[in-house]
Structure 1
Amino acid sequence: MEKPDNKHAIVTVAICFLIAVIEGLDIQAAGIAAAGIREHFALDSSQLGVFFSAGILGLLPGALIGGRFADRIGRKKVLIWSTGVFAVFTLCTAWVNSFNSLLAVRFLAGAGLGAAMPILITLASEAVSPQNRGRAVGLMYCGMPVGAAILSLVASTDFGTNWKNIFYLGGLLPIIVIPVMMFFLPESKEYLKAQNQAVTENAAPQASFKDLFNSTNFMRTILIWVSYFFTLMVVYIMLSWLPSLFMELGFSRKEGSTAQFFFMVSATVGTVILGMLTDRWKKAYVIILMYGGILAGLFALNSAGSLTQMYMASALVGAFVIGCQGVLYAFGSIVYPTEMRGTGVGMASAVGRVGAMLGPVIAGQLLAAGFGAAGVISAAIPCILISAIFMLFLVRRIQA
């Protein structure tokens, strides 16, 4: 009996990892293709900012709808459809011929990707025993920085110099993965069990938004929402602005891109290690370690003088800030029961995406107001402290 279960878990986490790699490619795609898109569509800086926001904005309704439908009609079915939507509209990004249509396809591609993310977390966590959920989600989610690092390398080749090739790659990869999902990805056993139980009891499985605010879940939902919001705000400030912050500090664009690469490589390692520690350590210790690590990295970025020190600080921030996001996703799968796990994680992801949208905008405003890189990094510190405090309250509540 153990072997099929192990096979089920390995196949599920491996396929979810592939989709996370594709998400990482997309996160980097807009920034890498920005110069080519600006030239092709004759955009100014303001319009380019709207282009960046369109994809992130699409993640919001995607996360809400994807999680909800995953609880209603099944994890596998919704994941395949959402990956298909993402693939089609990512390819369309290379074919559109007006700014408005460019915004529309980026929004719709973002919606497909946003719908996929809570389902990936839910599937990975439900493929293993509750004792191994942190590790499973960590292994799955480390695909994101892997994808981002791969695209950074592709961008340095002749193939990557044409901005359209970036979106052809991002659209064709999920099309290749869809048949793999159709034939090899198993449906969640926990979901099927909950469905069968609901049929036996002649009741519809609960997956309503209002269940997030019942007497059991209300405080858990608020606590995890606040943590997702502020943590993803800092994550996306770092993802969007790290190379630019390097240039603000007097380093070259190439050195900023190298820092981003170190950030992503260490993020891959950090996500796996923190995910494993989530299962083995007391949850409070993991939270103190990961948020303490982010703070140490931010202080290091602010005080480092040499290029080597800056690279090391970037790696430190990457390991903990992206790893922290993986741990938060694992917590989402622990906080909510099976019948509403997709809905709960989807809503928390959507709230986090609001923070993700606001973070880069606030960073841009601070830079425009003359606060410099140090001001942006300092502004991230209170966000991390708030997230840490709310997560510690959440752990205390779960244990109680």
Structure 2
Amino acid sequence: MAQQASESAPAGAVDLVALLDRAPIGAFHIRVLALCVVIAMLDGFDTQAIAFVAPLLSAQWNLPMSQFSSAFAVGLLGLTVGALVLGPLADRFGRKRILLACTTLFGLFALLTAWSTTFQGLLWLRFLTGVGLGGAMPNIIAMTSEYAPQRLRATAVTVMFCGFPLGSMLGGFLAAKIIPVWGREAVFIVGGVLPLLCVPFLALKLPESARFLVSHDKDAAGVGAIVRQLSPEGARLGAATRYYLPEEQISGFTVRHLFSQNRTASTLLLWIAFFCNLLVMYFLVNWLPALLKQSGYPLDAAIYATSTLNLGGVVGGVAVGRLIDRMGPFAILGTAYAMAAVFIGVMANAGGSGWLLYGALFIVGIGVVGAQIGMNAVASSLYPTGLRSTGIGWALGVGRLGSILGPTVGGFLLAQSWAPEAIIQVSLWPAAVAALAVFTLGWVVRARPSTAAAPA
């Protein structure tokens, strides 16, 4: 049963959360953040890779482009499975252990995709790659959140998650250059080799979450070693110092706790926002290259358009994080989603104007990709340590169901011979629903009884 640790704090023990929040930003924080950014970049590159090569595979294998909606969807199904299954496992076995396994998994199967020769084989490899990608994301969000001081937490999470659209953006530019020279296989070779090379480095340099260790009463010496690296205050504490977390403690089946302690409404609204926005995001990142190419743009220009969307996400993510830390999340994120809905309509009706198209894409990226980055920070703040990876993982998992639906609907509409502009315009409606859900979530959180366990 959930209970408040603060009601029975051990005598003489140090409040770890307060210590982490007082710590000045130093080399330890930067190292954790940088390693998580690298994983996010690799995640973004491998998630996007299939969209870069789908037009080539369509021609090479003599398959209609609409059939590749299943290739997009099965990868996203893997992301869903990874988030739903491996997120809760990390709350039980540790962030670092699951993260290393996930990075190995998606690197290995991304690499094997380079030698796929059948569409069926491609589907299986994309699914297994997705499982690893989906399991990695809630853990790097949780890890970043749990080491960042409260005053900079949203900024840290958004900066970290900017690695995802940055990896997609750089991957787009890289794919446009290497595909004509080395072929489509090179995209998957790069996407597989880089994560596998990172695994030993992560094993050596990435610490386990100190909050996880304390919440599970594990490795007291390891917690002390971490604390001594965090700040001068931590360095003065003795090796025998005990630590505690002044927050709700979670035991048993963690998923059911998403609906306890007055969390039901906030959890469901969070899921709606994730579902709708990830539907829009993955609809756009998977189908924009093909839809713009069908509209008459050359392939490299269509890929650059997707990179523009992700560039807007990087810029928007950093800006949104700072605004959240200063002004609170809900008005900022709700407005961003509403803005995205408006500019999707502008983009769909650009009428062949390149400047209008790319300008609208940049703003949509701020509202869709950038705001999703901010929502990850919100998700990490709604739940206590013992529930954080589960809460983030299930929000992402439910969101991935939307990300599966988005590309599937795109493929269906394309098969029905809808005009590319009309297909794009459909996606503004889920963005509007996400805006409404976030505004309502803000009201629910503000109205929640103060007796509910407050996450640290």
Q: TM-score, length-normalised on structure 1? A: 0.92
User: Structure 1 residues 207, 328: CA separation in 2 closer, same or farther (over 3 Å shift)?
Assistant: farther
- Output one character per residue of 1:40-88: Cα deviation in whole Å (capped at 9) or x when no partner: 5554445433222221111111111211111001101100011011111
Partner of 2:345: 299
**1:369 and 2:427 matched:** no
Matches for 1:174-253 after TM superposition, within 5 Å: 174-196=195-217, 205-206=251-252, 208-247=254-293, 249-253=295-299
| Partner residue of 1:21 out of 25, 32, 41 | 41
Decide which of 308, 311, 321 is 2:358's aligned counterpart: 311
Shift of 1:178: 0.9
Quote how far apart the aligned CAs of 1:385 are.
1.9
Q: How has the CA–CA distance of structure 1 residues 210 and 375 changed in structure 2, closer, same or farther, with 3 Å as cutoff?
A: same
8 A contact 1:194–1:205 mirrored in 2? no
Aligned to 1:145: 165
Tell me which residue corresponds to 1:348: 395
Q: Which has the larger radius of gyration?
A: 2
Match of 1:162 in 2: 183
Provide Cα deviations, 1:221-265, integer angstroms capped at 9, x if missing partner.
Answer: 111111100010011111112233334555444432332222222
> Which range moves more in the overlay, 141-150 or 29-38?
29-38
Partner SS, residue 177 of structure 2: coil
Give the structure 2 partner of residue 79 of structure 1. Answer: 99
Counterpart in the other structure of 1:173: 194
Contact kept, 8 Å, 2:340 with 2:367, in 1: the verdict is: yes
Aligned residue number for residue 114 of structure 2: 94
Moved more, 287-296 or 41-50: 41-50
Deviates more, 1:209-218 or 1:81-90: 209-218
Distance 2:268 2:429 in 1: 18
Deviates more, 1:140-149 or 1:97-106: 97-106
Q: What is the identity, as a one-letter code, of the residue corresponding to 1:196?
A: D
Q: Distance in 1 between matches of 2:260 and 2:65?
A: 45
Query: After the TM superposition, which residues 114-133 of structure 1 pair with which residues of structure 2 at under 5 Å, given as runs?
Result: 114-133=134-153
Match of 1:31 in 2: 51
Distance 2:148 2:444 in 1: 24
The corresponding residue for 1:359 is 406
Q: Deviations 1:153-208 (Å, cap 9, x if unpaired)?
A: 222224664111111101111012111211111111221221129x999x974552
What secondary structure sits across from 1:87 in the alignment? Answer: helix
The C-alpha deviation readout for 1:301-339, integer Å capped at 9, x for no partner, is 134342111111111111221001101111110111111
In the alignment, residue 127 of structure 2 is paired with which amino acid? Answer: F
| Aligned residue type for 1:307 | G
Mapped partners of 2:116, 2:306: distance in 1: 29
Distance in 2, Cα, partners of 1:330 & 1:249: 37
Structure 1 vs Structure 2: percent identity of aligned residues?
33
Aligned AA (1:91):
L
Q: Partners in 1 of 2:119 and 2:425 — Cα distance? A: 35
Aligned residue for 1:10?
30
1:273: Cα distance to partner?
Answer: 1.0
The answer as to whether partners of 1:248 and 1:372 remain within 8 angstroms in 2 is: no
Q: 1:381 to 1:153 in 2, by over 3 A?
A: closer
Unpaired runs of at least 5, structure 2 = 1-18, 221-243, 448-456
Matched, 1:256 2:302: yes
> What's 1:274 paired with?
320
| In structure 2, distance between residues paired with 1:302 and 1:60 | 29
Cα 1:82/1:275, change in 2 over 3 Å: same
Determine the C-alpha separation between the residues in 1 that align with 2:135 and 2:289. Answer: 29
Distance across 2 between alignment mates of 1:287 and 1:49: 29
> Which of 44, 53, 62 is matched with 2:73 structurally?
53
317, 327, 333: which one aligns with 1:287: 333
Which segment drifts farther, 98-107 or 52-61? 98-107
**Alpha-carbon distance between aligned partners in 1 of 2:119 and 2:407, rounded to the nearest angstrom:** 21
Which ranges of structure 1 fall in alignment gaps of 5 or more residues? none
Shift of 1:99: 3.4
State the secondary structure of the residue aligned to 2:207.
coil
CA RMSD, 1 decimal: 2.5
* Aligned mates of 2:294, 2:256 — CA distance in 1: 46
Number of equivalenced pairs? 399
Write the distance in 1 (CA, Å) between the matches of 2:64 and 2:369: 31
1:50–1:377 Cα change, 3 Å: closer
Give 1:7 shift: 2.9
SS at the partner of 2:26? helix
| TM-score of the aligned structures, taking structure 2 as reference length | 0.81
Which structure's residues are more often helix, by fraction? 1
Write the distance in 2 (CA, Å) between the matches of 1:224 and 1:378.
Answer: 24
